[in-house]
Amino acid sequence: MKKVYIKTYGCQMNERDSEAVAAILRARGYAIIPSERDADVILLNTCSVRDLAEQKAIGKMTTLAHLKRRKPDLVLGYLGCMAQSRGSALAEKQSAVDLVVGTQRFHHVPDYLDQIFTRRREEADSYDEELKAIVDIAEEPGSESTIKDHVLGTNGNRQATAFVSIMQGCDMYCSFCIVPYTRGSERSRPIAEIVEEVRQLVGQGVQEVTLLGQIVTSYGRNDIRKRNGKSAFVQLLEAVHEVKGLERIRFTSPHPKGFGDDLVAAYRDLPKLCEHAHLPVQSGSNRLLKAMNRGYSREWYLQILDKLREAQPNIAISTDVIVGFPGETEEDFEQTASLMREVEFDQAYIFKYSPRRDTPAAELPDQLSDGEKEKRNQMVLEILNERMARKNQELVGQTVEILVEGRSEKAGKRMFGRTRTNKIVLFDGDERHRGELLPVRIERATTITLYGDPAIHNL
């Protein structure tokens, strides 16, 4: 049995893709292992959103190429977004690479590995190093429905949460983003197919699902009609909500333009939909929002937040912010900083702008220096951390419900779970609590983490 190690870079979509590849490989007789040490195959599932992610993957492959000199039978491959955008150039520049598979062809990975091992056995004496790499970055109709297999309950442990991919691709074309070029156009799965996947997951012990898409709120807008004033995405939320045994629903990553009145109302009307909305703003400057091709203004964004907080007063809001976009002036940056102060986000992901090849923003004048980007990044982080720490401190003494996901890798023997508002809570417990919904009293808090009192659930 050949052993495969998969290393994933980037977003939750990539994590889900890697899981699906692992499940397909297992079904074909490959073993999925947690370390590269004993692997016969090492696959890097790559990200292209920022240059740093690409450089990490390339650097890792360079290291693996040295390993292959000592272990010549090792198979090395690139998967995902960088594989899609760079294609055969990856194999041409790194001769140790055997496989390059793009974002619409993940389900063919077992076939290609079989081919590589068969070819090596049959052509051991005449194998041509110049022709050995298999490269497949073709488009494939229906590929959005191939990311449906899961790996659950590793090491015999119950799995409480799962990602469910509901669509692929993006048609938004933000000026800074390479995703439409690496993931293709929007393609959505049928509602019934998604609901059945969720039903099967619940049957295996899953309590919470996170619906995934590049722009998840665009789900079905090209081929599913509105019904009773409700978008295809809200129709899907309602259908998933009806799955018996499911306790919680989340989704990511949306676009602010997808938050119509029907989705806002869903936060009021669907008890299983968690009180958390990730609402990427990217900038507080209307001038930059226009340059980013975001399609909304600062004022419109704030109106959405007002509607969400009216519909669900307990809702937590997280966001994405880019600092150092080309041409960002001190005034533009201050507008972003003031938005951070005004909204008081519960969480945010702050990114320094990274030029992406073939995107409009990469060709804009007035690119900022790395030093200025770092300075602004730290300033926004200071605002965020101060408000996160204060909001978490306000929870001390309160009792919250958490879904226990497992044992924390960073906190020793502590178990961890998440509140409905997506805050992490650590507590002293053991494996029998995995997958349970527990009330926990918050005893102390840091900027990122809450610590719960185990006495309340009679440990």
149: phi then psi, degrees, rounded to nearest 5: -90, 145
**Helices 330-343 & 370-393 angle (0-180, nearest 10):** 10
| pLDDT higher than 80, residue 184 | yes
| 3 state SS of 186 | coil
| pLDDT higher than 80, residue 347 | yes
C-alpha to C-alpha distance for 96 and 332, rounded to whole angstroms = 46
pLDDT at 410: 77
Give the Cα-Cα-Cα angle 270, 151, 155 (nearest 5 degrees).
110
| pLDDT higher than 60, residue 131 | no
| pLDDT higher than 50, residue 179 | yes
Write down the pTM of the prediction. 0.94
pLDDT digits (tens, 9 = 90+) for 198-236: 999 999 999 999 999 999 999 999 899 999 999 999 999
**CA trace torsion 221, 276, 408, 147 (10° rounding):** -10
pLDDT digits (tens, 9 = 90+) for 26-58: 999 999 999 999 999 999 999 999 888 999 999
137: phi then psi, degrees, rounded to nearest 5: -125, 30
Token pair of 125, please? 């004496």
Counting beta carbons within 10 angstroms of the beta carbon of residue 151, is it exposed (0 to 12), middle (13 to 18) or buried (19 or more)? middle
pLDDT digits (tens, 9 = 90+) for 418-438: 999 999 999 988 888 899 999
**Which has more confidence, 14 or 131?**
14
What's the sign of the alpha-carbon dihedral 254, 258, 260, 266?
negative
Say if residues 144 and 180 touch (Cβ distance below 8 Å).
no
pLDDT band at 260 (very low <50, low <70, confident <90, very high): very high
Q: How far is CA 445 from CA 71, 92, 319, 425, in A?
A: 48, 50, 21, 9
User: Tell me, what DSSP letter sits at residue 313?
Assistant: T
Please compute the mean of the pLDDT values over residues 85-99 and round it to a whole number.
Answer: 95
Say how many CA atoms lie within 13 Å of 22 toward its Cβ: 22
**CA trace torsion 321, 322, 328, 334 (10° rounding):** 30
C-alpha to C-alpha distance for 434 and 436, rounded to whole angstroms = 6
Nearest CA among 18, 16, 20, 24 for reference residue 5:
18
| pLDDT higher than 60, residue 18 | yes
C-alpha to C-alpha distance for 409 and 436, rounded to whole angstroms = 19
pLDDT at 459: 47
| 3 state SS of 91 | helix
Nearest CA among 414, 458, 423 for reference residue 439:
458
